[in-house]
Structure 1
Amino acid sequence: MSIQTTDTVLDRILATKREELAAYRRQLDTGRLAAAIESADAPRGFAAALSARHPKAVIAEIKKASPSRGLIREDFDVAWLAERYEAGGAACLSVLTDRDYFQGDDTFLALARNACDLPVLRKDFMIDPIQIDQSRALGADCILLIVAALSDDLMQTLAARAVELGMDVLAEVHTAAELDRVLALPSRTILGINNRDLKTFETTLDVSRTLRTRIPDGRLLVSESGIFTPDDIARLTAIDFGAFLVGESFMRQPDPGAALQRLMA
């Protein structure tokens, strides 16, 4: 198995993640991890929750910072944010757990999940099967696979392990080549079109519009990033996107749940 690499911010994130995982494995108690998986609450059904809210299902993101924007929200109360998102009509949550580049933490996932009844995506950079087990132990209902960061065999391995543990998989692409690769995953895989280029961090909804023409009908589609207005939602809904991942625009508002309601009005 191998990891795709590029000389970009993504490459630096992946290098840091490999160091983080090496340290994690050195102190890993496999018996304790297995016990944590066994005792974790049953997965809540991430894909099912999106399908139930189609064509206006929002994955509301809890994100404190990003490499391109720096600190996004200073008053960062994870449980309160989860509660407000649920009240605002979110179908699911996405929680950033990467520490070094997004100021996230593994504990944020449980804080969010315990504060509401919504399924939760662990949003991190998955490059090792141990992270899939770790995600389920943390209570994740879905994991993110960034296709730009993975070889085909590793992507297949990670996806299969997630399904084995009862989680859903959101596979994220930005290019036609990445999309062609991800279509080899089982059809139950949620397809995420990231409008943000992880190499340059430039963002445009044209990415979703262009790649949609290459996707067979009947797939559960999520448009991610660069979604700010009801008109953005309307344009994407018109081409059969029924789910949307939105984070930064909500995080910058005093009440993210009210911002969600305004976006979907």
Structure 2
Amino acid sequence: MSVLDDIVAGVRIDLARRESETPLRDLRAALADVDAPLDPMPHFSAPGSSVIAEVKRSSPSKGHLADIPDPADLAVAYARGGAAAISVLTEERRFKGSLDDAVRAAVDVPILRKDFIVESYQLVEARAAGADLALLIVAALDDDTLRRLHDEARELGLTVLVEVHDEEETERAVALGASLIGVNARNLKTLAVDHTTFSRLAPLVPDDRVKVAESGINSTDDVAGFVADGARVVLVGEALVKDGDPEQAVRSMTGVGL
């Protein structure tokens, strides 16, 4: 079993528990009280780099990264630094996240629910928690499920970040019509990082799609390199949660151009 398979197996167990506690009909009823989703695409499409700043306590590859007693405080710092969106990792077992980490009430920038989404229920959860974007990982989904979840997310008003790791997955994301495609340099099956992944896959993504660089981003120089290779957005977690001044760290990575 690959690392990704193991994570998804755990996600399904935790999902079944939440479904038993809160039926889907109750989640859908809660949507009536949620504000309309924010659209991140104008910011993502603007000149210069946009930063998706991540609330991330732990990872399978690095273990514990940072104590984050109040995700809302960190989100506020990210927003002050100019983050175009804030990613909140909600996977429980490997990333130590939770839907309780929702930061919607603290900031007025778009929020990404970053998780291993495999069922419609998780999309409704995301919207009910105030998320504006949701992550779909191509490696975790067959084509029919990927397309169904992509369409359902859009019907809910969510912007979809479709994540790829290799050429075949990139072709699938492009054929899907995804407007926001993230290239993750970390192989979720082995956790190895290949820093050439973005430069190799970005040319396969049409220029009318927004390209997001994920993983291996630690400095402004890294951001500049990804921008030179075609990225409009960078998703940064570890470097920000470990930085003593996350506000300034986001600011330094924002607006980087060619």
TM-score (norm: length of structure 1):
0.92
Aligned residue number for residue 88 of structure 2: 95
Alignment partner of 1:158: what SS?
helix
**C-alpha contact (below 8 Å) 1:50/1:92 kept by paired residues:** no
Aligned residue number for residue 3 of structure 1: none
**C-alpha contact (below 8 Å) 2:212/2:233 kept by paired residues:** yes
Q: Percent same amino acid among aligned pairs? A: 41
Aligned residue number for residue 34 of structure 1: 28
Worse-matched range after superposition: 152-161 or 224-233: 224-233
**C-alpha contact (below 8 Å) 2:205/2:211 kept by paired residues:** no
1:84 aligns with 2:74: no
How big is the alpha-carbon RMSD for the aligned residues of Structure 1 and Structure 2?
1.4
Map 1:4-23; keep pairs closer than 5 Å. Answer: 7-23=1-17
Q: Measure the CA separation in 2 of the matches of 1:214 and 1:243.
A: 17
Aligned residue number for residue 40 of structure 2: 46
TM-score (norm: length of structure 2):
0.94
1:198 aligns with 2:188: yes
Match of 2:243 among 235, 245, 253: 253
User: Which amino acid in structure 1 is aligned with residue 148 of structure 2?
Assistant: T
Alignment partner of 2:204: what SS?
coil
| Unmatched segments (≥5 aa) in structure 1 | 1-6
1:129 aligns with 2:120: yes
Q: Measure the CA separation in 2 of the matches of 1:163 and 1:263.
A: 29
**C-alpha contact (below 8 Å) 2:51/2:253 kept by paired residues:** no
Shift of 1:75: 4.2
Shift of 1:132: 1.0
Worse-matched range after superposition: 141-150 or 210-219: 210-219
Listed one character per residue, the Cα deviations across residues 151-200 of structure 1 (whole Å, up to 9, x for unaligned) are 0000011110110011100000000011111112224x310000111112
Aligned residue number for residue 56 of structure 1: 49
**C-alpha contact (below 8 Å) 2:24/2:121 kept by paired residues:** no
Aligned residue number for residue 230 of structure 2: 240
Listed one character per residue, the Cα deviations across residues 109-163 of structure 1 (whole Å, up to 9, x for unaligned) are 2xx2211111000001100111111111111101000110000000011110110
Aligned residue number for residue 109 of structure 2: 118
Match of 1:69 among 62, 65, 77: 62
Shift of 1:67: 1.3
Aligned residue number for residue 160 of structure 1: 151
Alignment partner of 1:59: what SS?
strand
